[in-house]
Structure formats: structure tokens, C-alpha cells
Amino acid sequence: MLLSVIIPCFNESAVIEATVDRLREVLGEDAGKRAYEYELIFVDDGSSDDTLEKLRRAADKDACVRFVSFSRNFGKEAAMLAGLQYSSGDCAVIMDADLQHPPELIPEMVTWFEQGYDQVIAKRNRKGDKKRATLMARLYYRIVNHIVDVKMVDGIGDFRLLSRKAVNALTSMQEYNRFSKGLFSWIGFKEKIIEYENQQRVAGETKWSFKRLLSYGIDGLISFNNKPLRICFVMGGLLVIFSFVYILITLIQILMHGVDVPGYFTTICAILIIGGVQLISVGVLGEYIGRIYYEVKGRPHYLVQDTNVPGSGNSED
């Protein structure tokens, strides 16, 4: 059995060597009774530090180390897709380069895979995370799960094992705007969730600024169905009904008592509310059109500058 481990790396120079070592420790021959055949596929997502140099050096020393290097930073989604496409294992594990996803879990994942599960998902608790972040995340998942069709669970991320069947399903989805959390859930197959203690980053720093998180959150909302569009429609409808009733009441009042004080307050209220709702609706429309724009171009998800994966005339989209 061949196990592929896929590791997206973006400016991970500070940890990359430790990650390679830990993985080799866990998966290598000395790791215990059973050693797997494995390949480590590092996807260098256009790092500007010496991540790639360190990967090359590791690859020279150990034939199990493979790398795929992008021509620039294409984002983690693209890096994961590349990893899946370049992998040739019977199953593949996706994990972060910063050791927040403990490699020690991999043998347990493989055991479950051997028992016939197609997705073995590692779920973290939020121990040690900032309170504010935890709260925001909880609120976000509450809202999102009402709106999107697929189920998304807090604490479940990209750290998971996928069987070849699941990998093929994921790579067969060629949409440009990939939201993996949703895609994993969308493909289904037999799932097993195992839990682990939240880990803090070993070194280096997180690449997720608030802005990036916000945009990721919006992606999650928009990329699965057209319910947000439907919500705009319903809001518009409600507003029209409301305005109608309001106009009728005011009209009757005018007919009965004549025009009273200049209706400054009500006018401003109406303008603000209607304006706000219209802007939101146009924004939602814009989000979808923006996505259609990117899909229609049909550009590749990433461009590879260099790789040592053998026979990698592989699909590059």
C-alpha cells in the first residue's frame, strides 16, 4: 500500500525541516512493527523565502520527498488540488506544514482507512485559541449551516485522509472557485471522525489575516448554492409589501386629516432602508457574477515551475 502525504507550504522555511523529520520518524521503517510505503508531496505555493531550497535538499537526501513548486502564490486551495493531482497513493493525507496537524495521527488514520473508510477526518478542539476567534467561528458555522446545502463542522479542517476514490472525486471537480471544506463534505463517502488536541504553530506565523479569513468566510457562503440570491429576493418582496401597507396607511391618514408635518423622518428612514437592501442585493449579485467571470475564463488553478515528481506529465488541469 502506498500512502501519499500532501503538504502545502507557503513561506514555511522556519518549520519545514522539522516537519520532514517528524514525518519520516512517524512513517519510516523504525516507526514500529509496520512501515508503509509513502511519498511526501510538498507543494511550494510560491514561497519567497528558502522553503524550496530546503525541500530540494530534503529531496536529495530522501527519495520519498517530492516537491511541486508553483510559479507564484496561488493559495492553499490550489496547493491542495495540485497535491491531490500529483499523488499516486492508494490513499492521501492532507496536512499543514506547521505541525499544527500532528503527524502521529497518520497511522491511526491509515488503520481506519484499512477498515474501509474513504474519509478519515481529524477534528481539533479549540483549546488554546483566542476566545474571540472561537466565538466568531462558532457564530459563522451556525449561520453558514443554515444557508449552504453541505454540512460544515467547526474544528474540522483540511487534515484528513482520503481514499483514492475520494481523491479522484475531488480532482474531478474542476471548478475554479474551490472551497475545500464544502467539497469534502459534498463528495460524501464513508466518513470517520477522530479527535485530537489543538496544537499551536511550532514556528513561523499564520498566513491568515482577518481580511483573508473574511474573504474565506464569504467564499464558504457563496460557493455552494444560490440561497443568498433567494434571500435578496425574499427581502425585496417583504420590503415591497411593507412599503405598500405603509403607503396605504399614510394615504388614509392624509385623506382623513390632511397632510400633517413634513415627513422628514419617515422619508429618510425609507431611503436608508431601501438603499441598504438594494446595495446588499447588488453586492450578492456581484459576488456570483464575479465567480461566473472566473469560471468562464477556465484558467488553470495553478502553474508549476518545477517538480521532481516522476512522470509528472500528470494532469496539470
Task: Tell me which residue of 211, 218, 213, 209 sits closest to 182, measured CA to CA.
Answer: 218
Among 5, 9, 58, 84, binds ligand UDP (CB under 6 A): 9
The enclosing H or E element of 69 equals strand 65-70
Q: Does 39 bind Mg ion (CB under 5 A)?
A: no
Helix, strand, coil shares, percent, the chain, to 5: 50, 15, 30
> What angle (nearest 5°) sits at the alpha carbon of residue 36, between those of residues 33 and 37?
145
Give 96 or 219: the residue with its C-beta nearer to Mg ion: 96
In the window 181-240, what residues touch ligand UDP (CB under 6 A)? 206-208
Quick check: 99 and 9 in contact, CB under 8 A? no
Q: Does 8 bind ligand UDP (CB under 6 A)?
A: yes
Q: Does 134 bind Mg ion (CB under 5 A)?
A: no
Give 76 or 181: the residue with its C-beta nearer to ligand UDP: 76
Q: Does 73 bind ligand UDP (CB under 6 A)?
A: yes
Contacted by 12, from ligand UDP, Mg ion, none: CB < 5 to 8 Å by type: ligand UDP
**Distance of closest approach, residue 217 Cβ to ligand UDP, in angstroms:** 13
Size of the site for Mg ion (CB under 5 A): 3
Among 98, 150, 155, 301, binds ligand UDP (CB under 6 A): 98
**Distance of closest approach, residue 129 Cβ to ligand UDP, in angstroms:** 10
Partners of 3 in the beta sheet?
Answer: 38, 91
Between the CA atoms of 271, 277, 282 and 283, what dihedral angle is there, to the nearest 10 degrees? 120
> What angle (nearest 5°) sits at the alpha carbon of residue 180, between those of residues 179 and 185?
110
DSSP 94: E
Q: How buried is residue 286: exposed, middle or buried, by Cβ count under 10 Å (0-12/13-18/19+)?
A: exposed
Among 5, 42, 45, 182, binds ligand UDP (CB under 6 A): 45
Q: Does 134 bind ligand UDP (CB under 6 A)?
A: no
Task: Tell me which residue of 81, 75, 162, 79 sits closest to 122, measured CA to CA.
Answer: 162
Give 208 or 246: the residue with its C-beta nearer to Mg ion: 208
Contacted by 44, from Mg ion, ligand UDP, none: CB < 5 to 8 Å by type: none
d(CA 145, CA 227): 12
Give 93 or 309: the residue with its C-beta nearer to Mg ion: 93
**Distance of closest approach, residue 96 Cβ to Mg ion, in angstroms:** 5
Give 100 or 312: the residue with its C-beta nearer to ligand UDP: 100
Local structure of 124: helix, strand or coil: strand
Among 12, 98, 158, 219, binds Mg ion (CB under 5 A): 98
Q: Report the Cα–Cα distance between both ends of the chain, in Å, rounded.
A: 26
**Distance of closest approach, residue 158 Cβ to Mg ion, in angstroms:** 10
Partners of 124 in the beta sheet?
Answer: 196
Give the footprint of Mg ion on this chain (CB under 5 A).
96, 98, 100
The binding site for ligand UDP (CB under 6 A) comprises: 8-10, 12, 45, 73, 75-76, 79, 96-98, 100, 206-208
